[in-house]
Chains A and B, each alone.
Chain A
Amino acid sequence: MERRNARQTREIVVPGDVLDGTGMKPGDYAYVQGGKVRASVMGVRNVFQNTVGVIPLRGCYMPTSGDTVIGVIVDIGPSNWLVDIGAPYPAPLHVNEVPWKVEFGDTSRYLGMGNVVLLKVLSVDESKKIQVTMKDSGLRRLEGGRLVKVSHSKVSRIIGKSGSMISMLKNMTDCRITVGQNGMVWVDGDEENADVAVRAIRMIEEKAQCGNLTDLVREFIESKLPQSEIDEGDE
């Protein structure tokens, strides 16, 4: 997703805009009509080798199998829970996909309405029916802390190139931070530090287009939290 030379301004395109008329192949969110590649969503024009596509600026999260997501329990059945993961479809979590042995009809003893869970998307079929699981290392119920919702298209910016941004956030604020691919971010730590982390995440979302984002975020956190005690650097 990252472009090699991060330019200050990137070209914004809207549906129908011509992305290329010289024979490039259509990439994501692009289609061909009359020999021209056109955009099918509002976003940033993105060239990779011989393909041209669009990185969307907005839009709803569509799950892909293998995604780690954070969701909220919105309904409880006798053998499953329904989880809102911010997709257009509810994600059922079956009792066989949780790390506990749950008797039929006993679901609400384990997870209740409004509980927040860290899950993995198991599968998404052709008609977009979703299955999620809580049976993998690190997957669990999240308690305490703060929950931030950002546009899922900004998740790659929050994580940064090979995790650089998220490592910096964690180190500088001394918070535990978990980023769901669906744009739900969980932040846990000392109240004041967590507050700074949340504001830094919001800042990344707002300024995702800026080239020098890492520096801006570092300066912001430094201005709010003196960095004498906490070591800065790679994990």
Chain B
Amino acid sequence: MSNEMMSEIKRDHILRLLEKGTRQDGRGVKDFRNIEVETGLIESADGSARVRLGNTTVIAGIKIIPGTPFGDTPNLGVLTTGMELIPMAHPTFESGPPGEDAIELARVVDRGIRESGMVDVEALCITPGEEVWMCYIDIYAIDHDGNLFDAANLAAVCALKSAIIPCEQYGKGENKHLPVTCTPISVTEAKVGNTLIVDPDYDEEQISTARLTVTTDDDGNFRAMQKGGCGSITLDELSQCLDRAVEIGAEIRKIIG
């Protein structure tokens, strides 16, 4: 039941469709799947979001706790991102500490958020050198049908945008919104045969040779990138991915508001 060897018949069918510019679920090569976002579903978290990207579901929760700053950044709050590929999400996922895939996912999401300056970490300082807010982003893959990169990024970003710093709980004045400056959006493409397709589903990922995630900010500037997979992409393909990341990133920003 859990075997993940794809039949050659299915693989060939996907490739045949791509030659005609279409995909198994009827999408074109540039189309994202339907995006559904629900925020605030976890009351025990300081911010939370569930994102559905087609059949892929990811939940992110934010916990904000007072702690000690790092010695070299005494005035800055601390941002930590973790990702768990729990066995509920896919028959090939196993329980245990995060493996390399989960760590790569967490680091790519973290990079987009950190490098875009989405969270104003200076505003997370309570007493310089002594106490700052530590912001933990914990992301769980609940149902995996491909493109966990973008689903995780969206869940983390939406959860952060909904987050409240629980000042009252720790006697630090009134609760306030987590200071958020922009909305970094990642767009992932997979190379299947010689075609680059946006938002790959699980089957497409299985037969893809390379993957590229590009994260942009509200101004259409680039904040993070990650190439994955054993294949390569050409300079022309890179250029195309960058153009699409800006264009699609802007569309997604409108959807999530």
Contact = CB atoms under 8 A, between A and B. Distances in A.
Q: Do chains A and B touch in the complex (CB under 8 A)?
A: yes
Interface of A: 60, 72-74, 84, 86-88, 90, 113-116, 142-147, 186, 191
A187 to B, nearest CB: 10
A146 B3 contact: no
B3 A84 contact: yes
A88 B1 CA distance: 6
Contacts of A113: 5
Contacts, number: 38
Contacts of A60: 1
Interface string B1-33: 101011111111100100000000000000000
B92 to A, nearest CB: 13
Residue from the set B5, B7, B8, B13 with the largest chain A CB neighbour count within 10 Å: B7
A186 B1 contact: no
A191 B6 CA distance: 21
Interface of B: 1, 3, 5-13, 16
Contact of A114 (B1, B11, B13, B16): B11
A74 B10 CA distance: 14
A116 B3 contact: no
Given A60-B1, A113-B5, 8 more contacts: A84-B3, A114-B6, A116-B8, A145-B9, A146-B9, A147-B7, A147-B9, A186-B9
B13 A146 contact: yes
Given A114-B11, A144-B12, A147-B10, A72 B5 contact: yes
Contacts of B13: 146-147
A53 to B, nearest CB: 24
A60 B3 CA distance: 13
Contacts of B8: 114-116
Contacts of A143: 9
23 contacts: A72-B3, A72-B5, A72-B6, A74-B3, A74-B5, A86-B1, A88-B1, A113-B5, A114-B6, A114-B8, A115-B7, A115-B8, A116-B7, A142-B9, A143-B9, A145-B9, A146-B13, A147-B7, A147-B9, A147-B10, A147-B13, A186-B9, A191-B16
Contacts of B3: 72, 74, 84, 90
Residue from the set A73, A90, A147 with the largest chain B CB neighbour count within 10 Å: A147
Contacts of A147: 7, 9-10, 13
Nearest to A71: B7
A73 B5 CA distance: 8
A192 to B, nearest CB: 11
Nearest to A198: B13
A26 to B, nearest CB: 27
A157 B101 CA distance: 41
